[in-house]
C-alpha cells in the first residue's frame, strides 16, 4: 500500500534521519565492539597504538593463537543461523509446545535450552570440526587473525568469576520475583480503584522512587549490621546477620524498584477494559480469579517488559551491591571494578575487559528472545486503549 502524498517525507528529511540513526547506532555499538575485540587479544595487542594491530592481533598470532579463513567463515555462518533461528524458529517452538498458562516459564526454559545448545555447538563441536579442516586445507588453515580465549579462561576458571555470576543471578531473580509479584497486585488494585487514596499512594511512590539510592542504603545499613541482635529474640543464638548477604541487597533493590513497577504495571492495567473483569465476575469468578485467569493472560507483554527493567536494575547495580555485600557474595559489576587498583597490570585490565564482555551476553540473549513481547508491552503501555 502506497503512502499518501501528504505523509511522504522529502529526500532530505529521509537522508538526514537515516544518517542520524546510523551515526547514533555507530556511537552506541562501537564501545561494545571494541572491548569485545580487546578481550580476545594479548595485552600487547589490546593496548597497541595502532587500531589495525588491535583488530588483527599480530602479537597474539605470533604466540600461536589465531583464526584461519575457514574458522572465520564457519564461525560467522554459525552465528548467523543461531541469531536467525532465535528470531524465527524459537518463538514458534515455544508457542507450539508450551501450555498457554505457562508461557513465561516456557520462554525461560526455551531461552536457557537454546543458550546451552549454542554454547555446546559453538565452543564444543565447532572447534573440533575446525581443527580437522584446518589441518587438511593447508594455507587456508593458517591463522590470519590473532585471537585467544586465555583471558576468559582466567576470569571464569582461575578467578572463579562464575561465583559472581551466580550471586548476580540470585539477586536479580529475587528482585524480579518480588517486584513483579507485589507490582502486579498493587498495580491492578490501583488501576481499578477510583478513590483519591490511590492517587496519593502513587504520588508517594513517585517521591520514594526519586530518592537517591545512597539514602536508602544509609537508612537500611544500621538495621542490617545489627540484624543478629534484632532477630535474636526470634531465632535465638542462631540469629543471622543480614549485612554482607544477598537478601539485604534484594530488600534494598526491591524498595528502590517497587514504585517504578507499580507505576508501570498500573498503566498497563488501565489499558485493559474493565468490562473483562465484569464479565468474569458474571461468570462466577472472584476478584482474584478474574485477575489470575482473565486479566493476567492479557497482561503478559506488560509484565515481561516491566520484568526486563527490574532485571536490568538488579543486574547492573553497583552502589548498593558494593556497599552491602562482602567479598564472597559480590556480584559481577563490583567484581569487575575490583580488577582496577594501584597494582593493576595490563593483563588484569584485559581480564576486566573480558569479564565486562561476559556480562553483556545474558542481556543480549534476554532482549533477543523476548524482543516481541518487549515491543508489544512498550506499545501497549504507550497507547491508551
Look at residue 2 in the predicted model and tell me its pLDDT. 58
pLDDT at 1 over 80: no
The three-point CA angle 208-164-226 to 5° equals 50
Q: How many angstroms from the chain centroid is the CA of residue 240?
A: 31
Tell the burial category of 93 from Cβ atoms under 10 Å away from its Cβ (0-12, 13-18, 19+). Answer: middle
154-189: buried (b, 16+ CB within 10 Å) or exposed (e) per residue? Answer: bbbeebebebbbebbebbbebbbebbbeebbebbbb
Q: What is the structure's pLDDT at 383?
A: 45
Half-sphere exposure of 311 (CA within 13 A, CB side): 16
Instruction: Name the average pLDDT for the chain.
Output: 82
For residues 135 and 37, give the distance between their C-alpha atoms in angstroms, rounded to a whole number.
26
pTM of the entire structure?
A: 0.79
| Pick from 40-54, 113-127, 224-238, 346-360: least confident | 224-238
C-alpha cell recorded at residue 375: 515491543
C-alpha to C-alpha distance for 369 and 105, rounded to whole angstroms: 13
- Is the pLDDT score of 178 beyond 90? yes
Q: Which of 309, 335, 331 is nearest to 321 (CA)?
A: 331
Burial of 358 (0-12, 13-18, 19+ CB in 10 A): buried
Amino acid at each position: 500500500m502506497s503512502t499518501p502524498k501528504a505523509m511522504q517525507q522529502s529526500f532530505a528529511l529521509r537522508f538526514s534521519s537515516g544518517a542520524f540513526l546510523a551515526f547514533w547506532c555507530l556511537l552506541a555499538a562501537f564501545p561494545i565492539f571494541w572491548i569485545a575485540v580487546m578481550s580476545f587479544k594479548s595485552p600487547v595487542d589490546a593496548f597497541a597504538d595502532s587500531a589495525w594491530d588491535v583488530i588483527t592481533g599480530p602479537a597474539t598470532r605470533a604466540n600461536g593463537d589465531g583464526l584461519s579463513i575457514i574458522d572465520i567463515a564457519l564461525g560467522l555462518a554459525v552465528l548467523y543461523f543461531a541469531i536467525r533461528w532465535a528470531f524465527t524458529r524459537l518463538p514458534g517452538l515455544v508457542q507450539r509446545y508450551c501450555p498457554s498458562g505457562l508461557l513465561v516459564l516456557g520462554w525461560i526454559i526455551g531461552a536457557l535450552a537454546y543458550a546451552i545448545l549454542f554454547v555446546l555447538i559453538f565452543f564444543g563441536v565447532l572447534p573440533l570440526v575446525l581443527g580437522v579442516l584446518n589441518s587438511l586445507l593447508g594455507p587456508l588453515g593458517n591463522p590470519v587473525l590473532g585471537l585467544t580465549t586465555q583471558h576468559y579462561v582466567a576470569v571464569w576458571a582461575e578467578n572463579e568469576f562464575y561465583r559472581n555470576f551466580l550471586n548476580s543471578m540470585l539477586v536479580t531473580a529475587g528482585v524480579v520475583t518480588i517486584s513483579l509479584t507485589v507490582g502486579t497486585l498493587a498495580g491492578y488494585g490501583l488501576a481499578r480503584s477510583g478513590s483519591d487514596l490511590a492517587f496519593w499512594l502513587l504520588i508517594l511512590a513517585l517521591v520514594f522512587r526519586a530518592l537517591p539510592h545512597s539514602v536508602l542504603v544509609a537508612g537500611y545499613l544500621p538495621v542490617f549490621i545489627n540484624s543478629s541482635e534484632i532477630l535474636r529474640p526470634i531465632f535465638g543464638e542462631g540469629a543471622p546477620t543480614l549485612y554482607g548477604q544477598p537478601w539485604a541487597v534484594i530488600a534494598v533493590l526491591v524498595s528502590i524498584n517497587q514504585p517504578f513497577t507499580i507505576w508501570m504495571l498500573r498503566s498497563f492495567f488501565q489499558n485493559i477494559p474493565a468490562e473483562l473483569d465484569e464479565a468474569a465476575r458474571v461468570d462466577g469468578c472472584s476478584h482474584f480469579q478474574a485477575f489470575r485467569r482473565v486479566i493476567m493472560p492479557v497482561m503478559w507483554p506488560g509484565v515481561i517488559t516491566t520484568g526486563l527493567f527490574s532485571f536490568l536494575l538488579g543486574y547492573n547495580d553497583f552502589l548498593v551491591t558494593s556497599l552491602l555485600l562482602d567479598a564472597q557474595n559480590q556480584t559481577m559489576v563490583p567484581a569487575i571494578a575490583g580488577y582496577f587498583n594501584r597494582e593493576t597490570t595490563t593483563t588484569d585490565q584485559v581480564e576486566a575487559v573480558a569479564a565486562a564482555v561476559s556480562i553483556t551476553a545474558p542481556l543480549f540473549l534476554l532482549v533477543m528472545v523476548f524482543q516481541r513481547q518487549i515491543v508489544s508491552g512498550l506499545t501497549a503501555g504507550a497507547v491508551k486503549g
